[in-house]
């Protein structure tokens, strides 16, 4: 085919120049191509072309002509929505501001070892409650769900609740 296009590389050209068989083949193929090229298509009348354009116009008249799709339409729309959801979840899980340091078993144990002032019964109550807490409870408090705090307060006894109120009042009074 490169020979038909006069695009042979040097070695092939040298071979063609020396090979009578290949030369005859090339002449033959060129003759076939020339013969094929002679076949003409009958030209329709000029009136046909106007009629043809009109037919195409009628056939496409019912088609809507919407502007080209924008990047946010079509398949991009659900993908964008999914990316937004993933981003929001990632923000909450990994980048939540001022999230408390992870609590581990060692940290829990240190509550029991924490030395409280002997005269402060309120702190003793808090330390006692903290020592009884399960790690999962601590995590739940670190990231409380809606209503979790209310539920915890309702579980306190009246004595525990009074102690907590005193503790909070003392803390707020110190500030």
Partner 1 sequence: MRVRDQAIRMAGWTWPARDVGMTKPEAGAPDSARVAALSDADDRTLVEAFRGGERSAFDIIVVRHRRQVYQLCYRFVSNHEDASDLAQDVFVRAFKGLQTFKGDASLATWLYRVAVNACLNRVASKKPASAPLEEAVHVDARAASPLDEVLRAERSDVVRRAIAMLPPKQRATLMLRVYQDCSNEEIAVALGTTVGAVKANFFHALGNLRRLLKKT
Site residues (vs partner 1, CB under 8 A): 1-2, 28-29, 32-33, 35-42, 44, 48-49, 52-53, 55-57, 59-60, 63, 65-69
CA 13 – CA 19 distance, rounded (Å): 10
CA 120 – CA 33 distance, rounded (Å): 108
Which tokens hold the place of 168?
A: 């909070």
Looking at beta carbons only, is 63 or 158 nearer to partner 1? 63
Shortest gap between Cβ of 81 and partner 1 (angstroms)?
21
Shortest gap between Cβ of 80 and partner 1 (angstroms)?
18
Looking at beta carbons only, is 71 or 94 nearer to partner 1? 71
Shortest gap between Cβ of 149 and partner 1 (angstroms)?
46
Query: 76 to each of 15, 66, 105, how far by Cα in Å?
Result: 57, 18, 46
CA 146 – CA 124 distance, rounded (Å): 28
Looking at beta carbons only, is 52 or 114 nearer to partner 1? 52
């Amino acid at each position: 085919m490169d020979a038909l296009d006069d695009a042979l590389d040097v070695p092939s050209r040298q071979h063609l120049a020396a090979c009578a068989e290949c030369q005859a083949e090339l002449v033959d193929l060129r003759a076939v191509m020339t013969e094929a090229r002679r076949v003409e298509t009958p030209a329709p009348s000029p009136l046909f072309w106007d009629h043809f354009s009109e037919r195409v116009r009628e056939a496409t008249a019912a088609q809507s002509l919407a502007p080209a799709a924008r990047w946010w339409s079509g398949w991009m729309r659900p993908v964008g929505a999914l990316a937004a959801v993933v981003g929001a979840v990632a923000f909450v899980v990994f980048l939540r501001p001022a999230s408390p340091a992870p609590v581990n078993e060692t940290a829990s144990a240190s509550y029991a070892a924490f030395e409280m002032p002997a005269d402060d019964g309120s702190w003793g109550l808090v330390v006692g409650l903290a020592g009884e807490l399960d790690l999962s409870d601590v995590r739940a408090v670190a990231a409380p769900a809606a209503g979790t705090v209310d539920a915890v307060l309702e579980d306190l006894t009246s004595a525990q609740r009074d102690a907590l109120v005193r503790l909070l009042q003392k803390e707020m009074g110190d500030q």
